Structure 1
């Protein structure tokens, strides 16, 4: 077995610190002999942000390994969902050098440990980004030198969402008129339920939706751009301040372009912050299709 593979397994099992910090896609901080940032957790964070945020990593690895070990079958042999899952699995393998060797040569306990750390990274990234964006989004939607009436609390959702004119106007599904009192009332009292299949207007450039051309301006809103930069470059880059001493996620992971899945991830990070009534997108939703 390659030295790199052995070392990765040792690190996964907690038996030894990494000694190959120069490996191009791994970044560590050390305190004596203890590794402070496990590479699998580290890569799990980027996987969740750019490939799949709500993935069951153990199931993904188990199914991917099983398919790899099967006699070669054409894609038509599998369902579209199985093929999509396998593409996600292959993307994860490309993201983490040496992972495929570990999976194919390791035992179940090793694989479970690896899955847990990747899952931990994905979950922690989602939680950290949600917390980080809470106050930031509020600042971005507040007009310069003005305040909201009534005020918007940073840590309370009950007064946000469709219960506040400012956030309600942004979260209103494209195609509905927020200025219509009847529409506004139905959204507020929950009579008009919003599924994850409907676009909120804040995703559109200038928050304007054209029913004749529903793709025009989609994913080009200022709010989405600011949130994307906040997560992937750095919070300070939003205001064009000098670069922070710590590299942003794009540089750390060698990310050179915006991916559809990362756009969908940022959009779903903005939604929960200011809508307690929002529900996650279904597998057939527009946001889910963007990821594909």
Structure 2
């Protein structure tokens, strides 16, 4: 009975749910115990002014940001860590890690079947057919999945390349990015940013994981499911860079669902998942790529979150709303001067538009 209660407590601990979202949107390859231990120590030194954020290396700054994001995802976690002992810290880390692992496992299982439909061309069938719940015949063993997984710097139409990929003599590393990352699965050698991470396959997978499987086929991205989506449960209203990388990597597992591997791990040699994932994030978080990445994130948000465009639309400079904001800004700065009302029309002498009733009376007179 005691053991059963303990297992139930672990399964229902909110930390597991927080870990699932952390792995999907912040970091999927993360040693949580180390992240928390270093985060606590670093926070203490910062608060005591023994160090400043400027003293942190780029890696330390990135780790600290991930630690703060973890605290933000889990209300009350910071106090729990500050007042707990080493056993409490280890329990928290274990639950977060459990959540991350279960999310990867669940997404792998779910996408394994769904991806078969997405890679089948309209009004066509795959030849040979793929079984929805079997992956042993995928990867470079199948012409369709092989074509999509083939690195853009290799020619899938070259029989020798295909043969070496199928046999395993040629194993692409994580920095050899596959064709399915690009819009229409086409790579522009002259401009590597052209269509990068804008493929329909990625968008479908993202919706499947974050906004529900039913939203994949709805043009406006809305879900028909009565169950709250992962995005809604965690208050997610915009796409994150790591979440795009998560979807593109086996962890989510578009890349993994196309491959023939049966299980996912951070050390798998066949697809070099961790390197692939981290390199994607490194490129997308590079300040030098800010313009391209900002445009990419805007595009993604428009695909996934229908209300994003409404909330982020620019207000026209001549609109009433803009004029009201300008007026308030001028008043606050002490430079507001009321303009004389127009006297061109007696009904507008007070600076206001005539009411419908006044217009009706004028028309009758």
- TM-score > 0.5, shorter chain as reference: yes
Q: 1:259 aligns with which of 240, 246, 258?
A: 240
Residues 241 and 281 of structure 2 are in contact (CA less than 8 Å); yes or no, is this contact kept in structure 1?
no
Q: Please report how far the alpha carbon of residue 199 of structure 1 lies from its aligned counterpart in structure 2 after TM superposition.
A: 1.3
Q: 1:286 to 1:54 in 2, by over 3 A?
A: closer
Q: Which residue is equivalent to 1:63?
A: 38
Larger mean CA deviation between 238-247 and 134-143 belongs to: 238-247
Q: Please report how far the alpha carbon of residue 106 of structure 1 lies from its aligned counterpart in structure 2 after TM superposition.
A: 1.3
Q: Please report how far the alpha carbon of residue 81 of structure 1 lies from its aligned counterpart in structure 2 after TM superposition.
A: 2.1
Residues 15 and 95 of structure 2 are in contact (CA less than 8 Å); yes or no, is this contact kept in structure 1?
yes
Measured against aligned partners, the alpha-carbon deviations of 1:79-120 in whole angstroms (never above 9, x if no partner) come to 322222111111111111221111112111111111111111
Larger mean CA deviation between 149-158 and 203-212 belongs to: 149-158
Alpha-carbon RMSD: 2.3
Q: Which residue is equivalent to 2:224?
A: 243
Q: 1:214 to 1:291 in 2, by over 3 A?
A: closer
Q: Please report how far the alpha carbon of residue 76 of structure 1 lies from its aligned counterpart in structure 2 after TM superposition.
A: 4.9
Q: Please report how far the alpha carbon of residue 168 of structure 1 lies from its aligned counterpart in structure 2 after TM superposition.
A: 0.7
Q: 1:36 to 1:197 in 2, by over 3 A?
A: closer
Matched, 1:280 2:258: no
Q: Please report how far the alpha carbon of residue 78 of structure 1 lies from its aligned counterpart in structure 2 after TM superposition.
A: 3.6
Secondary structure of 1:168's aligned partner: helix
Residues 130 and 138 of structure 2 are in contact (CA less than 8 Å); yes or no, is this contact kept in structure 1?
yes
Identify which of structures 1 and 2 has the higher relative contact order when contacts are C-alpha pairs closer than 8 Å and 6+ apart: 1
1 CA distance for matches of 2:50 and 2:133?
Answer: 52
Larger mean CA deviation between 38-47 and 78-87 belongs to: 78-87
Secondary structure of 1:120's aligned partner: helix
Q: Which residue is equivalent to 1:162?
A: 140
**Number of residues paired by the alignment?**
262
Q: Which residue is equivalent to 1:191?
A: 169
2 CA distance for matches of 1:146 and 1:228?
Answer: 24
Q: 1:263 to 1:89 in 2, by over 3 A?
A: same
2 CA distance for matches of 1:162 and 1:35?
Answer: 40
2 CA distance for matches of 1:289 and 1:35?
Answer: 34
Q: Please report how far the alpha carbon of residue 247 of structure 1 lies from its aligned counterpart in structure 2 after TM superposition.
A: 1.1
Residues 64 and 86 of structure 1 are in contact (CA less than 8 Å); yes or no, is this contact kept in structure 2?
yes
Higher-Rg structure is: 2
2 CA distance for matches of 1:106 and 1:55?
Answer: 22
1 CA distance for matches of 2:38 and 2:17?
Answer: 23
What TM-score do the two structures reach when normalised by structure 2? 0.67
1 CA distance for matches of 2:192 and 2:149?
Answer: 16
Q: Please report how far the alpha carbon of residue 40 of structure 1 lies from its aligned counterpart in structure 2 after TM superposition.
A: 1.1
Moved over 4 A (4+): none
Larger mean CA deviation between 145-154 and 98-107 belongs to: 145-154
Secondary structure of 2:12's aligned partner: coil
Q: Please report how far the alpha carbon of residue 242 of structure 1 lies from its aligned counterpart in structure 2 after TM superposition.
A: 5.6
Secondary structure of 1:282's aligned partner: helix
Secondary structure of 2:165's aligned partner: helix
Measured against aligned partners, the alpha-carbon deviations of 1:30-87 in whole angstroms (never above 9, x if no partner) come to xxxx897322111111111100112111111111111112243234534322222111
Q: 1:110 to 1:261 in 2, by over 3 A?
A: same
1 CA distance for matches of 2:238 and 2:283?
Answer: 16
Q: 2:25 aligns with which of 35, 50, 56?
A: 50
Matched, 1:142 2:110: no
Q: 1:105 aligns with which of 72, 79, 83?
A: 83
Q: Please report how far the alpha carbon of residue 162 of structure 1 lies from its aligned counterpart in structure 2 after TM superposition.
A: 1.0
Secondary structure of 2:99's aligned partner: helix
